[in-house]
Chains A and B, each alone.
Chain A
Amino acid sequence: MIEFLMPSLGADMEDGTLIEWKKRTGDSVKRGDIIAEVETQKGLIEIEVFDEGIIEKLLIEEGTKVPVGTVLALIDPIEVSLETKKEKPIELHPIQEKTTEGITQEAEREIHIKASPLAKKMAEDHHIALFQIKGSGFDGAITKEDVEHVIAQRDVIDKEKTVIETEKTVASSEAIRAAIAAAMSKSNREIPHYYLEKKIDLTKALTWLQEANEQRKVQSRLLPVVLFIKAIAKTLLDFPDLNAIWDNGLKPKKDINIGFVVALHNGGIMVPAIHQADLKTVDEIMQTLNDIIPRARAMKLRSSELSDGTITLTSMGDGGADAVFGVIYPPQVAIIGFGSISEQPFAENGMLGVRSVVNATLAGDHRATDGLTGSQFLNLLARNLQKPESL
């Protein structure tokens, strides 16, 4: 049976209204016959048929509007004409506009210091924070000259081996201190925290890590914290309520963006987010750390990176306290803390031994979840860390 389709008469024609059938069921048609009239935005156009046969059935009533490519009628080919091969017409789907949900462009809150690109590059190369330099260029912009001036000044100071006490750096750490104080006190005021702790055996994880690092160049060597981040991300897949925000009601988040607490050299912290940690491999997470930690310390983070975390991890690294109970970052509903890895006595099915162990803690917002959820999370986290190869 041959399908007679609504033809496309122009690249911009998307549909047509069948006004009148010129042939009825049972009529015979041959190549070039007018079979119907169709209304288009250009006016009424006669539609011709290119096949021979008897009209089996008219599928569309007069007056209906159909998209190009719709089957209008069925034609029974009486005898197969020379044209044996029937190419399949390409289905025409009209182009929908690609709608991108509005990306709310958050106002850049960074204080913008005017400096020429060259000056910025030189300052960065010499680890000089821009707010330490007085600009002499167009309306106060920092130029190459100004940077060179500071470098020269610092070399002089270096020689005298005195520690520079410029009040500007103090001011900045005060500013950071004030910001942290505000966030923490808001968190304690509004969020009823519950706290949980879990001791986790890291023997398998650390041996896997050592073997993994032996196969890697030193440049891409992995740190233990990478496994913690990956394990948290994997565990959160089963605990959506912990990967959420509280906005007079619990609102789970689709992406798993783990805020990573970075300690600044002269005090204070920054918490950039590792986006979609669940989708990243351990190597990609390590690369993300290599990017965000130095940028955090040089205060080069974009405000967007600081504001879309869905949960936070604070890790003591080695040589720190055994356990750390975090303060939740509003509007998040949980914070996970990893103490320092240390050799500890560890009992397992009755046997006592010395193992590399870490204390993992979870502080949860009791408005959003209960202790049971938190402890189940920590148990699964511990189990996931026993199978490092599958992280």
Chain B
Amino acid sequence: MENPVMNTTLTYREALKQGIREALQNDKDVFLMGEDVGRYGGAFAVSKGLLQEFGEERIMDVPLSESGFVGAGIGAALAGMKPIVEVMTVNFSLLAMDQIVNNAATLQHMSGGQLHVPLVIRMGCGISKQLGAQHSHSWEPFYAHIPGLVVLSAGTHEDARGMLRLALLSPDPVVLFEYTGMLNLEKEVAVDSDILDISKAKVLKKGKDITIITYGIGVYKCLDAAAELATVGIDAEVIDLRVLRPLDEFTFLASVAKTHRAIIVEDAWRSVSVSSEVSARIMEKTFYDLDAPVLRLCGIEVPIPYPAHLEEAAVPQIQDIVNAVKKMIHHD
């Protein structure tokens, strides 16, 4: 079927909105609940216009009661609905952590398999433009630690549009991280491109010299870094983890077995992070294929500072990735 691939350019925000709209159209049990998702049109204008299209019953503004409305979402899911609960940003999700961990992730186990929680919780995540420490957290590792949760990271426009539909099909609770720092970023996306799964990592660029493993806000940074490395003859393979739990280790282990080198990039703080887990699995399962120690480029362990030059230095940038790879390969 060689019909020409029709591309459109759309922003990450539009990709998110298309995902939500499709979900609401596909299933009447789906409804969106979150702070300012209705009349205000979404804190970051992601759900603008949806209230007018779907009405108050399915686009519900909620009071500032994160534990309350996330718990309510769990209850509605237990009773047969398909709620999408928006926690404006991961920074405010700590208030609802008890409901997410002690109820959503655990009820099926404690009830001996009787209770299922088909709930999707969307959270804005990571650095935007100088929002200061309390509005710039990257806490994917917190949630990726909890058995019972499916944890997704929408690092590309395709995933921003496609992950929600598949997440709503899951009988288990899904935490979906979206990246406020990328909302205005425009990318070309195939019109009818649809993602196939929310269970596997994806090789976004093939290569043979080194495996760059990343997720979320790191994906486009690593692709740009790989492009620059190609100009100096380094053929890097870039892998987007996409799913932080359950982690698809098969894809990155196969790649490291081929390239014999690995570098992991994330904005989250270095200690006890996703890169700690990925690096441990590489050491455990492809030790004899390693020709150099696994390198990790992560967030500096400091609350995100307000001034631009410090904020930029606090997380890995494209040039940092390029330099690290060069040092590892040429090391002269």
Contact = CB atoms under 8 A, between A and B. Distances in A.
Given a CB threshold of 8 Å, the question of whether A touches B is answered with yes
Interface of A: 116-119, 121, 137-138, 143-144
Nearest to A115: B291
Given A117-B289, A118-B291, A144-B291, 4 more contacts: A117-B290, A119-B291, A137-B331, A143-B292
B305 to A, nearest CB: 32
Contacts, number: 25
Nearest to A141: B292
A119 B292 CA distance: 10
Contacts of B291: 116-119, 137, 143-144
Given A118-B260, A144-B260, A138 B292 contact: yes
Nearest to A144: B291
A9 B293 CA distance: 53
A118 B260 CA distance: 8
B331 A116 contact: no
Nearest to B327: A138
A9 B331 CA distance: 64
Contacts of B290: 116-118
Nearest to A139: B331
Contacts of A143: 291-292
Nearest to B283: A117
Contact of A137 (B288, B289, B292): B292
Interface string B141-162: 0000000000000000000000
18 contacts: A116-B290, A116-B291, A116-B292, A117-B287, A117-B288, A117-B289, A117-B290, A117-B291, A118-B260, A118-B288, A118-B290, A118-B291, A137-B292, A137-B331, A138-B331, A143-B291, A143-B292, A144-B291
B298 to A, nearest CB: 20
Nearest to B260: A118
B75 to A, nearest CB: 32
Contacts of B292: 116, 137-138, 143
A361 B98 CA distance: 75
A144 B289 CA distance: 10
A143 B261 CA distance: 12
Interface in B276-306: 287-293
Q: Max chain A CB contacts within 10 Å: which of B260, B291, B331?
A: B291
A151 to B, nearest CB: 15
Contacts of A118: 260, 288-291
A144 B293 CA distance: 13
B14 to A, nearest CB: 46
A119 B289 CA distance: 9
Contacts of B287: 117
Nearest to B293: A138
A94 to B, nearest CB: 29
Contacts of A119: 291
Contacts of A144: 260, 291
